[in-house]
Structure 1
Amino acid sequence: MILSFQRVNDVMFWEMIELTENLMYGGLGLIILLVLVLPFTLKKVEQNLEPFLFVMGLLSVLISQQMTIGLLRKALEEPIMITAAVLGFGIIFKVFKDKIKGLIQSIQHHVPARLLMFLIVVILGLMSSIITAIIAALLLVEIVNIFTLNRKSEVALVIISCFAIGLGAALTPIGEPLATIVISKLHADFWYLFRNFGGYIIPAIIVLGLFAAFAIRENEDPLSLKSLQEEESYKEVILRAFKIYLFVMALTFLGTGLKPLIDRFVLGLPSQILYWINMISAILDNATLAAAEISDKMTLEQIMAILLGLLISGGMLIPGNIPNIIAASKLNIQSKEWARLGVPVGLVIMVLFYILIFYIV
């Protein structure tokens, strides 16, 4: 009788544990759904994306019981370098705005428009592996801010360039945190990523440059909306830097908070499925996903599937990559505007690389 009662208690205990876990996974799944849907359906959320993501990130770590002093310290410290770079370059560009504007306009007058669009995408994409994705994005923003482009062309140039920057930055561990984490986890040398992935990434950047060259047109009217904009104040420079800080902090919370869901349902999947599952990188920090998924016991094909899936999908939506966040914040690009081009471009690249990785190479 006592043993029977003990068994009932044990069963009830494990059922309670299972129910708690299921509720946690359900809550985390709901957060992913809200992050994917609300910025496109509610204008209030779209206009306040940074605080919205912060709240979602905070909820995710509370639901998954991942909130610790260490995580809080990491969330407070992680955005500091990025925010400092955004603030510092914002002030530098403001102080030297006339000289920079004169230089860019001089180049603009001497270089054909199509060639110029191509060069912007390709040079920033390749240079991001040396100057970092953050600085490449800041340069992109200032270049675009001076050009006389209509709104559609401006958004297109930014999105295509951010795809190129996100890809190019992964060629060396200097470029972005994802590359640093991959090199560390594989115990690889400095040129490992360039050696194994350069043959895929560099042609992709060139193709993106060609796409920009033929898809984007300069505004025929010299008195465009861009040239009539008021000059940005120091207050706006500081506010933008604060928004970037909040954004990066939110992504830190989201990446940690959703980790149990990733560990339970994503890790261990075949590389072909993992490639597509990693489209979640469109709303999560790809460095966090890389840290969870990459192992030195994997084959090169598996590493390639994970890495390229993360890098490509990171360009699809604004939260997917730091360059996207910087550019969208500075140029007031809304979630719908970004997704309208970012999602189809990302899907096309994903399909092409999928065929290349799993059926051709």
Structure 2
Amino acid sequence: MIGLVIILLLVLFLPFFVKQVEHNLEVFLFIMGIAAASISGMMSLHLVEKALVDPINITLAVLIAGLLCKWLQVPLEKSILFLIKKMSMPIFLALTVIILGLVSSIITAIIAAIVLVIIINVLPLDRKAEVRLTVLACFSIGLGAVLTPIGEPLSTITISKLDEDFFYLFRLIGPEVIPAVIIFGLLTIFLVKPVESSCGLESEQKTESYKEILIRSVKIYLFVMGLTFLGHGFEPLINEYIIGLPPALLYWINMISAILDNATLAAAEISPAMDSETIQAVLLGLIISGGMLIPGNIPNIIAAGKLNITSKEWARFGLPVGLITMAAYFIILLVM
């Protein structure tokens, strides 16, 4: 148990304090996953096979969607310019947030974030409006991507640990997630006040190379593989200290997802021994709070990195939106 606690603390905090770990997170998590599975006695040929197979679907989805995004970038940009001439800007922005959120479970959160960057690069808007649009869209993408196991690593790991079917998460949290995606889209009409400007977010408008697409796909494979080992390695710790906690407490504890990658937390917390109410509370706490700050979710990291959004800019808008959403869902799901 002591060994697992030490590994958990290393996984949660080393990426913040050691730059080499932050820049090589996939390799670090793979090593920590092997260590956790070995120390806990969970390492077996079955687990190795599972760790090799589980990342395949999401890796292929990221690779194929990345190639399509590269090949279709120019037509996409032309389509965006055409659409903003045919409809009002508020409606276009709302539809952007809703559609990216809903399709992220198919094209993956990573590709949805890249498409978002392409769209924002085309829009001649001021910086404040574009920052707010980016944050709301990443909340939407982070929520929608969880509905299938190919959407993002969190959903891949959850399905793997629970050994459930492809549409399990859609059934479990779809009724909560889909309305939230639509609400985030509608919020852009009221919270994003676009002003035509040439001083928007500064970013390099370039098409990704095949090498970048391939490297990203390999990293995703290694990332999910490491999380598979990590999740199963932490099972004794989960069974001892997590399973007995009430869903409401787990929901708020998972606000730490704002500063820690939510896929890592899902690997550490979720267990097949949990009932559906607890799993629902854990997942919603992770995916909602994951949008509050840049480190909380993969779409945030990609969009903020490519658009040069600072942590302060993100937090100024993302924290209040996330806290209000957390409180609303707490009342609806766990109090009423």
TM-score using structure 1 length: 0.70
Match of 1:260 among 233, 236, 240: 236
Residue 190 (structure 1) shift: 9.9
CA contact 2:141–2:299 (8 Å) conserved in 1: yes
Letter in 2 for 1:220: S
Letter in 2 for 1:145: I
Q: What is the rounded CA distance, in whole Å, between the counterparts of 2:321 and 2:194 in structure 1? A: 18
- Paired residue for 2:69? 93
Q: What is the rounded CA distance, in whole Å, between the counterparts of 2:150 and 2:220 in structure 1? A: 20
CA contact 2:201–2:307 (8 Å) conserved in 1: no
- Paired residue for 2:220? 244
- Paired residue for 1:355? 331
CA contact 2:116–2:303 (8 Å) conserved in 1: no
1:312 to 1:223, Cα distance in 2 relative to 1, 3 A? closer
State the number of aligned residues.
Answer: 323
Residue 62 (structure 1) shift: 3.2
Residue 264 (structure 1) shift: 0.9
Deviation string 1:179-214 (CA, Å, 9 cap, x unpaired) is 86899879x9998547xx62x434422332244442
> Structure 1 residue 221 and structure 2 residue 221: aligned?
no
CA contact 1:278–1:313 (8 Å) conserved in 2: yes
CA contact 2:157–2:227 (8 Å) conserved in 1: no
> Structure 1 residue 163 and structure 2 residue 136: aligned?
no
Q: What is the rounded CA distance, in whole Å, between the counterparts of 2:307 and 2:29 in structure 1? A: 17
- Over aligned residue pairs, what C-alpha RMSD do you find? 4.1
CA contact 1:31–1:60 (8 Å) conserved in 2: no
1:139 to 1:28, Cα distance in 2 relative to 1, 3 A? closer
- Paired residue for 1:276? 252
Q: What is the rounded CA distance, in whole Å, between the counterparts of 2:108 and 2:270 in structure 1? A: 22
Letter in 2 for 1:96: L
Q: What is the rounded CA distance, in whole Å, between the counterparts of 1:151 and 1:223 in structure 2? A: 4
Match of 1:201 among 165, 177, 181: 177
CA contact 2:238–2:271 (8 Å) conserved in 1: no
1:60 to 1:184, Cα distance in 2 relative to 1, 3 A? closer
CA contact 1:317–1:335 (8 Å) conserved in 2: no
Q: What is the rounded CA distance, in whole Å, between the counterparts of 1:215 and 1:302 in structure 2? A: 35
Residue 266 (structure 1) shift: 0.7
Q: What is the rounded CA distance, in whole Å, between the counterparts of 2:120 and 2:7 in structure 1? A: 42
Superposed, 1:252-331 pairs within 5 Å as: 252-279=228-255, 282-284=262-264, 286=266, 289-295=269-275, 304-315=280-291, 327=302, 331=306
> Structure 1 residue 145 and structure 2 residue 118: aligned?
yes
Letter in 1 for 2:42: Q
Q: What is the rounded CA distance, in whole Å, between the counterparts of 2:294 and 2:233 in structure 1? A: 19
Q: What is the rounded CA distance, in whole Å, between the counterparts of 1:206 and 1:155 in structure 2? A: 19
Residue 74 (structure 1) shift: 1.8
CA contact 1:66–1:256 (8 Å) conserved in 2: yes
Please give the secondary structure, in 2, of the residue aligned with 1:50. helix
1:115 to 1:319, Cα distance in 2 relative to 1, 3 A? same
Letter in 1 for 2:10: I
Residue 343 (structure 1) shift: 5.7
TM-score using structure 2 length: 0.74
Please give the secondary structure, in 2, of the residue aligned with 1:292. coil
Deviation string 1:94-132 (CA, Å, 9 cap, x unpaired) is 22322222112222333333322221122232345xxx2
Match of 1:116 among 92, 102, 120: 92
> Structure 1 residue 70 and structure 2 residue 52: aligned?
no
Letter in 1 for 2:222: L
Q: What is the rounded CA distance, in whole Å, between the counterparts of 1:100 and 1:109 in structure 2? A: 14
Query: Unpaired runs of 5+ in structure 1?
Result: 1-20
- Paired residue for 1:27? 6
Decide which structure has the larger Cα Rg and report it: 1
1:304 to 1:52, Cα distance in 2 relative to 1, 3 A? closer
1:65 to 1:158, Cα distance in 2 relative to 1, 3 A? farther
Letter in 1 for 2:114: V
Query: Unpaired runs of 5+ in structure 2?
Result: none
